[in-house]
């Protein structure tokens, strides 16, 4: 997330896996700071560029849209950024520093890492992108699993990289997000399954309760 746009909550809230305009508008209404749009075709939360283009005029221009990509053709990513479809690109695959460096001087970029060991922390530390997202490692699913990871690994990253902000993801929900924030003080928290109903769409009550929990932890 862009630190300049983390304004409604001292810890930003990004709600990921938005698949419909109604869900996007719900997140805005409830006070989220950003939405995540998953353009990886193999994701169960995949949304097409065409669909998102149909929403743009109905969304506030200041509301941050984050495009989530997994090892995507850089020309496709660049096109979405250049056209203003998204404000931020989040690389959630095995993108190299060389890949990321193609974008970092022109655009806002987040690089995600699935965390399962200190080796994961070391990989994140070597990343040339300033803001990293730390998620639970889930193999070829690349996030959105609803699983948590040992937050002590995130703490190690922060100790090794005190000037670098983190976005925390991985199994967050209304019950554990306060503890996560109190333990790690992340730039933002990222949630998908923790605010969804059984059909995979965002539940208004869960979205509201999650955001209220973040606000309480930020007091």
Determine whether 23 is an active site residue.
Answer: no
> Any idea which residue has 């950024």 for tokens?
81
Residues 6+ apart with CB under 8 A from 217: 11, 177, 178, 181, 182
Closest CA to 60 of 34, 96, 81: 34
Q: Which of 23, 27, 127, 135 is catalytic?
A: 135
**Distance from the first to the final alpha carbon of the chain:** 21
Q: Which of 16, 27, 100, 127 is catalytic?
A: 16
Determine whether 178 is an active site residue.
Answer: no
> Any idea which residue has 């056209």 for tokens?
83
Q: Annotated active-site positions, please?
A: 16, 135
């Amino acid at each position: 997330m862009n630190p300049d746009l983390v304004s409604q909550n001292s810890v930003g809230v990004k709600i990921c896996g938005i698949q419909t305009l109604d869900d996007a508008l719900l997140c805005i209404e409830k006070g989220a700071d950003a939405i995540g749009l998953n353009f990886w075709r193999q994701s169960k939360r995949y949304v097409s560029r065409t669909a998102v283009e149909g929403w743009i005029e109905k969304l506030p221009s200041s509301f941050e849209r984050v495009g989530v990509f997994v090892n995507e053709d850089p020309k496709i990513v660049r096109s979405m950024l250049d056209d203003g479809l998204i404000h931020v690109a989040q690389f959630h695959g095995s993108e190299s520093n060389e890949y990321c460096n193609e974008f970092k001087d022109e655009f806002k970029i987040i690089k995600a890492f699935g965390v399962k060991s200190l080796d994961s922390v070391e990989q994140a530390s070597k990343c040339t992108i300033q803001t990293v997202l730390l998620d639970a490692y889930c193999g070829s699913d690349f996030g959105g699993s609803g699983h948590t990871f040992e937050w002590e690994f995130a703490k190690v990253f922060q100790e090794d990289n005190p000037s670098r902000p983190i976005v925390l993801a991985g199994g967050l929900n209304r019950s554990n997000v306060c503890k996560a924030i109190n333990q790690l003080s992340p730039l933002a928290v990222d949630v998908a399954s923790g605010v969804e109903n059984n059909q995979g769409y965002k539940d208004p009550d869960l979205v509201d309760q999650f955001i209220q929990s973040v606000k309480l932890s930020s007091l």
